[in-house]
Amino acid sequence: MKLNDIRDNEGARKGRMRVGRGIGSGKGKTGGRGQKGQKSRSGVAIKGFEGGQMPLHMRLPKRGFNNPFAKDYAEVNTGMIQKFIDAKKLDGKKDITEEALREAGLVRGGKDGVRLLGKGDITAKAKIIVTGATKGAIAAVEKAGGSVEVLAKPQPEHEKKAARAEANKAKKAK
């Protein structure tokens, strides 16, 4: 066998149906679009259109507020950390970082980091390094003899730009 002999299995790739190519093709004349009407014409994409009636998505009331600047944290409870330490999935003697929590399968997602919550008991003397933590969680870990290190929050982009602009002004002034 050679590389130029390799082929897909028969029927693995199916060609697209060529519509409007004669009556013998089975999809000739109207091309499977039926007769007349807006949807038989070209350039029509009717999503949520209800024949002129006010569409459902417009009839329903708007509710609540979706904050575009909200932080997305993966949340983890102190009780679950203790459970994973007991099950030997986490090493309580080493620093428990966000990477260690992800590798252990304790947290998923959270593009802005991991936040420690205080639900459950913790008895292990562990140093936990996370992006955020509640006062109750910090108190619970410190009561057990451990410590919580909260990482510095990253500076927003507009503040970075302003700081760069000031630094450039200072350079030009010299």
Does this model's pTM top 0.75? My answer is no
**Least confident range of 29-33, 46-50, 64-68, 129-133:** 46-50
Q: Percent of the chain scored above 70 by pLDDT?
A: 99
| pLDDT (0 to 100) of residue 104 | 92
Q: Where are the domains of the chain?
A: 74-150
| 126 touches 85 (CB < 8 A) | yes
- Tell me if the domain spanning 74-150 has CATH number 3.100.10.10: yes
> How big is the CA angle at 126 (ends 120 and 100), to the nearest 5 degrees?
90
pLDDT by residue (tens digit) across 41-96?
Answer: 888 888 888 888 999 999 999 999 999 989 899 999 999 999 999 998 988 888 99
**How many Cα atoms are found within 13 Å in the side-chain-facing hemisphere of 37?**
9
Q: With cut-offs at 50, 70 and 90, classify the pLDDT of residue 129.
A: very high
Longest alpha-carbon distance in the chain = 82
The number of angstroms, rounded, from the C-alpha of 127 to the middle of its chain's C-alpha atoms is 28
Looking up tokens 């390094």 gives: 129
The rounded percent of the chain whose pLDDT value lies above 90 is: 66
108-117: per-residue pLDDT in tens?
988 889 999 9
Closest CA to 154 of 108, 117, 102, 112: 112
